[in-house]
Structure 1
Amino acid sequence: MKELRDDIVRAGLDTLSGRKRPRSRVLLIAGQPGSGRTALAEELARQLAGEYPDGVLRARLTGADGEPVPTERTARALLAALGAPVPAGAEEDVLTAALRRALDGRRALIVLDDAAGAEQVDPLLPDESGCLVVAVSRGPLTGVPDVRPCTLGGLDTHAAVKLLERYGGHRITCDPVAAAAVAEECGSQPAALILVGGWLAARPKMSVLDVVKRLREQRPESAGRPLARAFWLAYEALPATAARTLHLLALAPAGLVDAHTASALAGCSLSTAQSLLEDFTVRGMLRTETPGGAPDGALPPQYRVPGCLTPLLRALLEAQERETEVELARARMLERTVRQLYSCRAATERDDPSVRRRIDQLPRPLRFPSPAAAGEWLDARLPALLAAARMAVEDGRLDTLARRLVSALTRALTAHLGAEAAAPELYGLHQLVLDVARRCEMPLEKAAALLNLGDLDARAGRTAEALGRYRDALQAAREADDPYAISRALESVATAHQELGDWQRAADWFRRGLELRLTRGELAEQARLYGKLGTVHTQAGQWNDALRDWRAAAAVCRRLRDLPGHARALSEAALVLEYAGRAREALRICREAAECARQSGDVRLEAMARLRLADALERRGDGAAAEQHRQAAGELLAADEPAPEVLGAARSAAPG
């Protein structure tokens, strides 16, 4: 710890001249899994937290499956932890640049655990010299400039014996020679010593010499692997049910597990699963994990499978479970997760009697006492939920469950966070749906996923990419022969062209959408699309076409007896007439719009129509009448207590 703290302030090669460091200082804690490298990094972060007022950020760079985590996913998670905007669907370079900008001027400590190599760490390094990065890895991070390595081996004998004393008590104190032999058999690795200590704590009548003997008798395949020998000693001492539950935890998404996950995997009761998880924690086989920002006890306990034990558990799973049993366990876990997500979303809809009845039909452990509790659970379990969705899609054998899970997670995120805040996660979920739809040849689901992705691209300003998505969605919708999907795709293509300023193509695509609505006799949609066409033609300066479209929209609204829609269409037609220089006709239409708005009973709509009429009168030189209408509009808005910006919006909508 002293060496690490000294390295923070020690001058590097780029600071010998006295100039300010161009990037953050990087400390490396290197060692094999089980050497205590993560524990040391966390203790360092705990001691230094007070010196970094902008907080401690954490990210794991290797997944529970042993595969490196994509850099864009890590950057997205760090941006979210900082509370910075996260661009939905952005590429790695954009996200890492956004992360560096978000850290400019801040003093934050970033812990990057289990890095596979320098290519994962280097893009995440802040340019802010006030930040500190603590990386944990197996070996050197060649390629990261001026990295300060601290390499861990095993503990010294005295420290190893002290660690055993926490579990064995007086047995260790009374037999220091045997305790030293245990430390030697464990390679003085903390993870192995903890497993042996848990075994001793569960067997108060066993001596330390018994431990030494049993370690030496372990399986031949674990020879030279102290952690494997300690694990086998602890695993073989478990009852059959507990042992099976333990190796099934290798299926836990992101290595995170709670009582519901363990219960579903093992097919046991919730109380039994919770007892087993607590016992595994005492034995050193699991680590308790408190979700960031949540106080202890505020949420159900959550545990993490240590990364050093995951390969051993996976090997056991493959050796002792049939493939069908593994698939069934995974299906039970995903089904439980879907039900939890349904309950999580339903917690926000308690005002609906039908939703309340469905919630009451759920088992009590699946219910949430309040929307706030459901939101906290969703935030705490989000890494595991996203990992479960990815795992289900990649598996390829549970596509129906995967689609249900992704759908449930999408709705829960939207209900609790809102579509805008949840957009970065929704983008990845829609991509998962697209993968399943392509694999299973489901054109309608493919069209829906492409449309959703296109909407998110368009919202993020990637209009050209969105246009490509919409065109692919249109093709898929036509394959599915679904009129709703075809209509939505046509309008989305048109909107993208409109955003790009291609008025001719936008009008052409809107007209195609209108023809489909005319064929189906959907009057409300016809009125809306006539309005879209009118807007495009107005933007293109094609006044005659725009006037024709707005008059058509007004006629359809009149057929529907939609007075507010009729008033809006008339008001827009008057605006087009103003642009076309037909002021007298525009004034007449403005009067019709104001009267129609009055008859509709929509106070704000009437006020805006009067303001537009006032502007038209003022341009005709009738200032007194214009002032009269403005006063009437002000009285209407005051009576309705509008937001302050409504009046300004109404004025800015006027021509000229």
Structure 2
Amino acid sequence: MTDQAVDTGGVQLFGQTAGGSRFLGRTRELKELCADIERTGLDTLAGRKAPRARVLLIAGRPGSGRTALAEELVRQVARRYPDGVLRARLSEPDGTPVPVERAARDLLAALGHPAPAGAAEDDLTADLRAALADRRALLLLDDAADAGQVDALLPATPDCLVVAVSRGPLTGIADVRPCTLGGLDTKSAVELLSRHTGSVRITVDPRAAEHLAEICEGHPAALTLAGGWLAARPQAAVSDLAKQLRAEDGEGTALSRVLRLAHAALPPSAARTLRLLSLAPAGLVDPQIASSLAGCSVDSARTALDDFAALGFLRTVDSPLPEYEVPGCLHPLLHALAVALDRPAELQLARARMLERTVRLLQSCRAITETDSPQAREKLLAMPHALRFPSPRAAADWLRIRRPALLAAARLAVADGELDTLARRLMAQLVRAMAAHVGTQAAAPDLYGIHGLVLDVAERRDLPREKAAALLNLGDLDARTGRTAEALVRYRAALDAGREANDPYATGRAMESVGGAHLELGDYDRAADWFGRALVERLARDERADAARLYGRIAAAHTFAGRYGEALRNWRAAAAGHRKNGDLAAHARALSELARVQEYAGRPEESLRTCREAVEWARRAEDTRLQAALHLRVADTLDHLGDPVAAGLHRSTAERMLEEEAEEGLQEPPEGDSSLEQGANTCEIRSAPTED
């Protein structure tokens, strides 16, 4: 989603931002669109209240100025919609439809309603309609591929307005108000040319300017390229360009003919660079991407991009970073030129260079956060200066701004099918960079998609270890969002993949995760059984810390099932294991849970003794929060035993400890005990290459 026009077709100059351009022509169309907003709909005529938002359709060829017209309409009527303007692009630069799930998720994020990772399309669109139900907002849905995309995103309230931009009609949407664009009128077309060439050349030969506008069929994008060609040649007359275009063969549209002429006039190296920009993910280009595609320096790439923007080949994006966009109307034409004029091996090499550069930038983005690691600092200093970030804040800003392009790069790399090794490295570094700067919880929706791509590559290349890692990560994200049944299916598949790969880590982790899913589903017998299987694996490999933790998970399952004898036995085993491993805090937590079960079993005196022992171990561990939580547990037990005075002393001790810690900068005191039931599963691609 963006605040600029995407399909900048001539009416808005490609080298300008939407906010800085001056709108030309289309007076009649704007008047009709504004009138359509207030016009009575079919439902109103039938005596019914409109069930959803009105849809205004602006249809036309890419580059005809359809998005520019939509943006101008939005600018004029935005004040009527106090809840703001939402924008989403529904097609990729190459014409591939954007999944409704992705568009709905972005719109929800813009509304401040982040959706859970992995949510289904129907759930997301329902959430979007619910979020817009009490709002008066305006939606601009740009470059819609079909009516289904628009229909799925329509707000279910007549107080909202939808402006859709598409190549053709959106059949199937009731009461849509279409506005079909042709070429600009002659006066506006000539004025658009004069913005590039200056008024003198137009005044000297106005007939030639009108003739050139006619040859360009009044198509704004073609006129912009023609104006850029003339601006780069101050000595050329307007009639000279008209003659050259007349000499072109009649194949293709006016835009394709002007593009071929403008492309042929470039120096060979610049023409090659321009063609390769069609490989940029999501059509978004920065100097690093252009440098890697063309195989030149970053400074040379920046100069070339500025030149292309001045000539009308690119649009400058309003961004803190130097960023440009290949207009959607030019993207397929440039790609066709690249396929026709460059060898497939050269295009593949350019893609590989681009992905490798992106991997190294992500490595640098993550490494700058690891200030305590001498190895990370050493690797960072070994990188070329052009790949380094001046500060962690700059790296985080780069990751945030380039996020759409980075995610698109991962999708394109996987879809390519020939660069799977680079794709795997890219996704591994992208996950790590997001975890470092955004956090796994906040980045969960993006991580879900990345792990899905990892799974695609693993299945295609028959990589069972990576398949197991991807399934475990996807299962964890499913479990965190309440889709426990789906998570259980993933965990079982991960177990099979881990066994196929003979990966003990994946196998043990999958067993434990299967047990955790059964525990969440309330099947305590199966949960205890699967935790027991995982425990056998850990004990066989002498992994004592994990074994102690699993004793606790088995005990938790038995506690939920009401089998207090088994629970007590396993909590004692967990406490003994943590003590042998020297983990004093975990030992104290296990004793706390043991005391809880003793209380459940009707042994309050034993519970009190165990809880006091836990307090002592927490003191030795210097864990103030745990001490405070245990004092509260002791107070509850004393209340049950009928000693409110002693209980009050323990509560006051806990409050004092929490206040002291809050003064030291810890803002949120614990709500209660932290048990051993939860495992620390992180979202990572552990079987991907680890070299930095």
Global fold match (TM > 0.5): yes
Distance in 2 (CA, whole Å) between partners of 1:581 and 1:499 is 26
- Partner residue in 2 for 1:144: 173
Answering whether residue 635 of structure 2 is matched by residue 614 of structure 1, we say: yes
Alignment of 1:495-574 (within 5 A): 495-574=516-595
Of 127, 130, 150 in structure 1, the residue corresponding to residue 156 of structure 2 is 127
Is the 2:508–2:534 Cα contact (8 Å) retained in structure 1? yes
1:596 equivalenced with 2:620 (yes/no): no
Distance in 2 (alpha carbons) for counterparts of 1:596 and 1:174: 93
3-state SS of 1:49 partner: helix
SS of 1:387's equivalent in the other structure is helix
Choose between structure 1 and 2 for higher RCO, CA contacts under 8 A separated by at least 6 residues: 2
Secondary structure, aligned partner of 2:142: strand
Q: Greater CA deviation, 350-359 or 552-561?
A: 350-359
Moved over 4 A (4+): 17-20, 642-648, 650-653
CA pair 647-397 structure 1, distance change in 2 beyond 3 A: closer
Amino acid at match of 1:357: E
Contact 1:612 1:651 (C-alpha < 8 Å) held by counterparts: no
CA shift digits 1:51-88 (9 cap, x unpaired): 33333222221112222111111111212222212121
Query: For residue 327 of structure 1, what is the aligned residue in structure 2?
Result: 348
**In structure 1, distance between residues paired with 2:325 and 2:569:** 65
- The structure-2 alpha-carbon separation of the partners of 1:89 and 1:638, relative to structure 1 and needing over 3 Å to count, comes to closer
3-state SS in 1 of match to 2:402: helix
In the other structure, the counterpart of 2:238 is 208
| Gap change, CA 1:185 and 1:551, over 3 Å in 2 | same
Aligned to 1:294: none
8 A Cα contact 1:537 1:546, kept in partner: yes
2:296 is matched with 268
| Residue 348 of structure 1: how far off its partner (Å) | 2.9
Q: How does 1:365-444 map to 2 (within 5 A)?
A: 365-444=386-465
CA distance in 2, matches of 1:651, 1:411: 27
1:11 equivalent to 2:40? Answer yes
Distance 2:283 2:655 in 1: 61
TM-score by length of 2: 0.89
What do residues 475-530 of structure 1 show as CA deviations (whole Å, max 9, x unaligned)?
11111111111111111100000000000000000000111111111221111111
CA deviation profile, 1:265-295 (whole Å, cap 9, x unmatched): 111111221121111111111111224xxxx
Offset at 1:31?
A: 0.9
Instruction: Give the letter for the 1:453 counterpart.
Output: L
1:34 aligns with 2:63: yes
Percent identity of paired positions between Structure 1 and Structure 2: 63
- Structure 1 residue 646 displacement after superposition: 4.2
CA distance in 1, matches of 2:203, 2:330: 29
Task: Assess, with a 3 A threshold, how the Cα gap between structure 1 residues 632 and 77 changes in structure 2: closer, same or farther.
Answer: closer
Deviation at 1:442, TM superposition (A): 1.0
Distance of aligned partners of 1:171 and 1:650 in 2 relative to their CA distance in 1, 3 Å threshold: closer
Deviation at 1:354, TM superposition (A): 3.5
- In the TM superposition, 1:45-60 aligns within 5 A as 45-60=74-89
State the alpha-carbon separation in 2 of the partners of residues 234 and 601 from structure 1.
72
* 1:160 alignment partner AA: A
Does residue 229 of the first structure (1) align with residue 282 of the second (2)? Answer: no
The residue aligned with 2:227 is 197
Measure the CA separation in 1 of the matches of 2:280 and 2:385: 23
- The 2-side partners of 1:320 and 1:402 are apart by 26
Match of 2:626 in 1: 605
Find 2:380's aligned residue among 351, 359, 371.
359
Which residue type is aligned with residue 347 of structure 1?
Answer: I
The equivalent residue for 2:144 is 115
- 1:283 & 1:628 partners in 2: Cα distance? 79
In structure 2, relative to structure 1, the CA distance for the partners of 1:530 and 1:286 (3 Å cut) is same
Deviation at 1:563, TM superposition (A): 2.9
> For structure 2, which runs of at least 5 residues remain unmatched after alignment?
1-29, 677-692
Structure 1 residue 575, shift from structure 2 partner: 1.8
TM-score using structure 1 length: 0.94
Change over 3 Å in CA distance of 1:108–1:624 after alignment to 2: closer
Kindly indicate whether the alpha-carbon contact (under 8 Å) linking 1:116 and 1:138 is maintained by their aligned counterparts in 2.
yes
2:672 to 626, 649, 653: 649
Measured after TM superposition, the shift of residue 456 of structure 1 is 0.6
Q: Which residue of 2 aligns with 1:470?
A: 491
Tell me the amino acid that sits aligned with residue 380 of structure 2: I
Is the 8 Å Cα contact of residues 611 and 651 (structure 1) preserved in structure 2? no
2:321 is matched with which residue: 280, 296, 299?
299
1:482 alignment counterpart: 503
> 1:592 Cα deviation (Å)?
2.9
Who is 2:90 aligned against? 61
Q: Distance in 2 between matches of 1:185 and 1:86?
A: 49
What CA distance in whole angstroms lies between the structure 1 residues aligned with 2:647 and 2:192? 87
Report how far residue 335 of structure 1 moved: 0.8
User: Is the 2:370–2:376 contact (alpha carbons within 8 Å) kept by the matching residues of 1?
Assistant: yes
Quote how far apart the aligned CAs of 1:613 are: 2.8
Equivalent position amino acid for 1:158 in 2: K
SS in 2 for 1:315: helix
1:19 is displaced (CA, Å) by 6.1
CA distance in 2, matches of 1:83, 1:629: 42
Root-mean-square deviation over aligned CA pairs = 2.2
State the Cα distance separating 1:650 from its structure 2 match.
5.8
Q: Give the corresponding residue for 2:310.
A: 282
Structure with more of its chain in helix, by fraction = 1
Q: Which residue of 2 is the match for residue 79 of structure 1? A: 108
Partners of 1:638 and 1:156 in 2: how far apart? 73
**8 Å Cα contact 2:104-2:124 kept in structure 1:** yes
Q: Deviations over 1:215-250 (max 9, x none)?
A: 11113533xx21111111211111111111111111
SS of 1:649's partner is: coil
- Equivalent residue letter for 1:177: R
SS of corresponding position for 2:57: strand
Per the alignment, residue 5 of structure 2 pairs with: none
Contact conserved, 2:105 with 2:114, CA < 8 A, in 1? no
Is residue 274 of structure 2 the alignment partner of residue 246 of structure 1?
yes
Which residue type is aligned with residue 153 of structure 2?
L
Amino acid paired to 1:374: A
TM-superposed deviation, 1:417: 1.7
1:181 maps onto 2:196 in alignment:
no
For the 8 Å contact 1:64–1:255, the answer to whether it is kept is yes
Greater alpha carbon shift after TM alignment, 484-493 vs 623-632 = 623-632
- For the residue of structure 1 that corresponds to 2:251, the secondary structure is helix
Is residue 2:343 matched to residue 1:315? no
Distance (Å, rounded) in 2 between the aligned partners of 1:11 and 1:395? 49
What is the deviation of 1:431? 0.4
| Cα distance in 1 for residues equivalent to 2:675 and 2:272 | 69
When residues 349 and 43 of structure 1 are mapped into structure 2, their CA distance, relative to the original with a 3 A threshold, is farther
Moved more, 397-406 or 269-278: 269-278
The equivalent residue for 1:445 is: 466
Pick the aligned partner of 1:218 from 227, 239, 248: 248
